[in-house]
Amino acid sequence: MSAALPGVRDPALLIAVFALWALLALFVVYPLTMLFARILTDHGAFTTTGIVAVLTDKHQIRAFWNSLLLALLVGGWGTALGFLFAFTATRARLPRTLLWAIDAAVLLPLVSPPFTTAIAMIFSFGPRGLVTYHVLGLKGVTVYGLASTLASEVLTYFPIAYLTLRPLLAAIDSNIEGMASSLGASRWRVFRTVTVPLCIPGLANAFLLLFAASLADFATPLILAGNQFPVLPTQAYLQITGLFDLRGGAALSFVLLVPALAVFLLQRYWVSRRFYVTITGKGAGQAPFDSLAPAIRTTLLAACACVALVIVYFYALLLYASVVVALGANHAFTLQHYRVIFTDGLKAIRDTLIIAAFAMPLGGFYGVLLGYLVTKRAFIGRRTMELVSMINYALPGTIVGIAYLIAFNDPPIELSGTALIIIACYVFRYGPTGIRATVAQLQQIDKSLEEASQGLGAGSSTTFRRITLPLILPAFFAGLGVVFIRSMTAISATIFLVSISWSLITVKILENITELSLGPAAAFSVLVVVIVFVVIALVGRVLRLFHAPGAVPVTSLLGC
């Protein structure tokens, strides 16, 4: 294996490691240190009084346990749902069009701005909801609480699990399943003892990503959790924006770091003990294993269709809200809302697109580079680097936003009011999705594959280009896609980073919702969904040109 000190033989690696550390120090460690300093000092003096009061408050402690419960449930249900969809998509031998339809429906929640699912939930299941009141005739229904928050978050985040699991399932060499079957195992036994264990790194990753996403989400609970089920990110947000207590709010958010890191470490060590190499390069090309009985196939399809229908219904409601005068009051057709967003909102649209266009490639490269280095290269501080890179992802956006605002407002590094601060926030907050995807993908590749290539006389760069690169391309594009999508849809951190010079569509949506302008908010949301779908379709087109044989079809990852 390579030396612990990399520089001696490999200057490029040394440079890459140093550059990444410098960036992580500047955009992850430095802002949090500044925030920490702000929390622990009061007019220059060290203090902990405010923080202790907040952390020992019994309501906040309850909110902490609520957050954990919600995150666990969202992680579990979301992973299960993601697996259901990924399994169906890869094993049920669906026709292309049906596959495309499922992909599109699954990706909708992922590409839509915050609040949309939550608001659709209230419209449908509230006390005067379309479903609860008008269809079922129920009265006095309460929509606020754990159940609706859970449902809304699972629907919003399960696509992340789907995106993580689908390439893994597709990459499992079906010969292994076939062999198990020919040795006499039933389909169920193959599924239980071969397929699922092979997916464990992916399942763990998906769970981690969902757990972290739920832990950090404040938009959904803000609307749906109500008064009976407070959660920590919302409490932290309220502490800052409602009680003007930056110190207490930041302290509450830091508490969230503990479970987020704990789950991360657990996953790291638990997963790393499993054996999951399936891309061995040996004996491919036989007839794929038929892993589903017809009845099971139908059941799986029906389950997927039900979930997809709920999603489609939610978004149909959104589309409808964007073309009527005022949803619930005046249902006359109008295009007025679109006129508004393309005049008053044009600057926000332009700014958002410019920022997303820069954040996307940067975030993609960052994810693959870091993911590759920490999995396949040995250097001092490898684990630490991976851990540090996850921090901005695990922390609630409100805190990241405030930390950036504090750190980059004053000299020496003055970035407030620029687009760069928003781009940096996106790259380091959403790039980790690409890192996780790269790590998961690389763990699937047997070293013998690379060794064989080199043994056959290929140089290391050829090996990389022909063997490793095609295998991590899906991860690269997953990272790229997520950063772009988040650049179009994120709000919790960036609400503190938009400025007089740079505005964002999501901030406009929030503003419209607070101003009761549901129409423009819906129109903006529809626009975001359309833009993301168009861009991802274009990326998919370009990718097909570079489609490397033997790799997971990268385009399918992004729903095209």
Partner 1 sequence: MTITPHWLRRGSRVFAVLTFAAASFFGAIPARAAETVNVYSIWPENWARPMFEEFEKATGVKVNFVRFSSGEALARVIAEKNNPRVDVLFGGPVETFAAGINEGLFESYKPPSFAVLPARFKQADGQWVAIADDPLVFMTNEKFLKENGLKAPASWNDLLAPPYRNMLQMADARTSGTAVTRIFSILEVNGRDENKAFDYMKKLRPNVQLYTKSGGGGTLPVGLGQAGGGIFFIVDALDTKAKGYDVSISFPKEGIGTAAEGIALIKGAKNPELGKKLIDWASSPAMQNQFAKYKVNFVPAHPDVKIEPSLAEVLKGAKIFPIDAEYAGANRKRIVDRWVAEVLNP
Q: Which of residues 284-313 bind partner 1 (CB under 8 A)?
A: none
DSSP letter at 467 equals: I
Stretch in the footprint of partner 1 (CB under 8 A) among 94-102, 261-269, 508-516, 552-560: 508-516
Q: Which of residues 48-107 bind partner 1 (CB under 8 A)?
A: 59
Considering only 283, 294, 461, 542, the residue that binds partner 1 (CB under 8 A) is 461
Tell me the C-alpha distance between 254 and 396, whole Å.
9
Minimum CB distance to partner 1 smaller for 210 or for 368: 368
Question: Comparing C-alpha atoms, which of 522, 518, 556 is closest to residue 539?
Answer: 556
Stretch in the footprint of partner 1 (CB under 8 A) among 15-23, 106-114, 182-190, 384-392: 15-23
DSSP letter at 287 equals: P
Question: Comparing C-alpha atoms, which of 132, 54, 128, 106 is closest to residue 533?
Answer: 106
Tokens coding 320: 């409808």
Tell me the C-alpha distance between 436 and 479, whole Å.
9
Stretch in the footprint of partner 1 (CB under 8 A) among 90-98, 119-127, 185-193, 200-208: 119-127
Write down the least CB distance from residue 514 to partner 1, Å. 6
**Is there a contact between 283 and 175 (Cβ–Cβ < 8 Å)?**
yes
Q: Is 314 in the site for partner 1 (CB under 8 A)?
A: no
Q: Which of residues 317-356 bind partner 1 (CB under 8 A)?
A: 325-330, 344
**Is there a contact between 485 and 114 (Cβ–Cβ < 8 Å)?**
no
Considering only 81, 318, 406, 539, the residue that binds partner 1 (CB under 8 A) is 406
Minimum CB distance to partner 1 smaller for 81 or for 415: 415
**Is there a contact between 462 and 453 (Cβ–Cβ < 8 Å)?**
yes
Considering only 108, 151, 405, 445, the residue that binds partner 1 (CB under 8 A) is 405
Quick one: CA dihedral 363, 367, 368, 369, positive or negative? positive
Stretch in the footprint of partner 1 (CB under 8 A) among 89-97, 103-111, 400-408, 542-550: 400-408
To the nearest 10°, the Cα dihedral for 401, 403, 407, 408? 0
Q: Which of residues 213-252 bind partner 1 (CB under 8 A)?
A: 222, 226-227, 238, 240-244, 246
The neighbouring-strand residues paired with 77 are none
Minimum CB distance to partner 1 smaller for 97 or for 514: 514
Q: Is 272 in the site for partner 1 (CB under 8 A)?
A: no
Tell me the C-alpha distance between 175 and 346, whole Å.
53
CA distances from 135 to 127, 129, 272, 330 (A): 12, 9, 50, 20
Write down the least CB distance from residue 242 to partner 1, Å. 3
Minimum CB distance to partner 1 smaller for 207 or for 366: 366
Binding mask 483-502 for partner 1 (x = CB under 8 A): ------------xx-xxxx-
Q: Which of residues 123-152 bind partner 1 (CB under 8 A)?
A: 123, 126-129, 140, 142, 144
Q: How many CA atoms lie within 13 A of 541 on its CB side?
A: 6
